[in-house]
Amino acid sequence: MPALLERNPDVSVIIPVYNLEGYLDPMLWSLANQNLGGYTAEIIFVLNNCTDNSEDIIRQSRIACQIMDCTTQGCGPARNAALDVARGEYIWFMDGDDWLLSRTAIKAALDKAKAEDLNILRIPFWSDKFQYNYFSMVWQYLLRHEFVQEFRFPNYQPGEDDAYMKQILTKAGRPDLNHLLLPYLDRPYYFYNYMREGSNMFRHQVLGQKI
């Protein structure tokens, strides 16, 4: 009897990791405790030249996940490497030092996206330090893989998310970049750990360093 073909996951969660050993636990806990309600998710961690114990911490969490390497430095190349192998119907980019605010975050996003046949769904977020709603923060979107498969992040930073989301929002009919008019969930499901020391945002805005 021929083996049944494995169904592609409903969502690919893509998380670049660069020296996050002191910050991974909340994200790992929130992923491990997701109630997917029958959906399937593949979680892809991309190690981006880590020199700390990030990989060991991920493996010790026992989350079912794929761990891959990307030696080209930066979130853009790391996300691109994962996009090249991702199999999910939808893509959700996340940052390893953030976390999900609900055990049903992934289920809620997929419920709405699938019920309304959406190419792009905005995920409201909460932060204790950042109160703006900027179009290019890629973790605030659930994206249909087929809709965005032609796009990749540039290899420079900062500004890689801007370039990526400008293309997608234009294709989604929002050339004015007014992402607030897109379909969205009814409450925040994502916590943004803004300006964590050592983050890309901290290095670029506070220290003024170039990567």
pLDDT in tens, 33-85: 999 999 999 999 999 999 999 999 999 998 999 999 999 999 999 999 999 99
Measured CA angle at 182 (ends 178, 186), to 5 deg: 125
The pLDDT assigned to 7 comes to: 83
Instruction: Note whether residue 6 is domain-resident.
Output: no
Long-range pairs of 22-26 with CB within 8 A, sequence gap ≥ 24: 23/96, 23/97, 23/193, 23/196, 24/54, 24/57, 24/58, 24/61, 24/96, 24/97, 25/57, 26/98, 26/99, 26/191
The whole domain housing 102 covers 11-207
pLDDT in tens, 150-197: 999 999 888 999 999 999 999 999 999 999 999 999 999 999 998 645
Instruction: Note whether residue 2 is domain-resident.
Output: no
**How many other CB atoms are found less than 10 A from the CB of residue 17?**
27
User: What is the distance between the alpha carbons of residues 76 and 79, in angstroms, rounded to a whole number?
Assistant: 5
Instruction: Note whether residue 141 is domain-resident.
Output: yes
- Whether residue 59 contacts residue 30, with contact meaning beta carbons closer than 8 Å, is answered with no
Taking alpha carbons only, the member of 170, 176, 175, 135 closest to residue 151 is 170
Instruction: Note whether residue 111 is domain-resident.
Output: yes
pLDDT in tens, 109-163: 999 999 999 999 999 999 998 888 899 999 999 999 999 999 999 998 889 999 9
Instruction: Note whether residue 1 is domain-resident.
Output: no
User: What is the distance between the alpha carbons of residues 101 and 156, in angstroms, rounded to a whole number?
Assistant: 30
Please give the tally of structural domains in the chain: 1
User: What is the distance between the alpha carbons of residues 37 and 101, in angstroms, rounded to a whole number?
Assistant: 17
Task: Report the predicted TM-score, pTM, of the whole model to 2 decimal places.
Answer: 0.90
Query: Residue 32 — φ and ψ, nearest 5°?
Result: -65, -25
The residues near 201 (Cβ < 8 Å, ≥ 6 apart) are 194, 195
Q: With helix as H, strand as E and coil as C, how does 87-152 read?
A: CCCEEEECCCCCEECCCCHHHHHHHHHHHCCCCEEECCEECCCCCCCCCCCHHHEEEEHHHHCCCC
- Whether residue 97 contacts residue 191, with contact meaning beta carbons closer than 8 Å, is answered with no
User: What is the distance between the alpha carbons of residues 86 and 2, in angstroms, rounded to a whole number?
Assistant: 25
Instruction: Note whether residue 139 is domain-resident.
Output: yes
The pLDDT assigned to 195 comes to: 64
84: CATH:
3.90.550.10
Instruction: Note whether residue 177 is domain-resident.
Output: yes
Mean of the pLDDT values across residues 9-36?
97
Instruction: Note whether residue 19 is domain-resident.
Output: yes
Beta strands at 120-122 and 41-47: parallel, antiparallel or unpaired: unpaired
The amino acid at 63? I
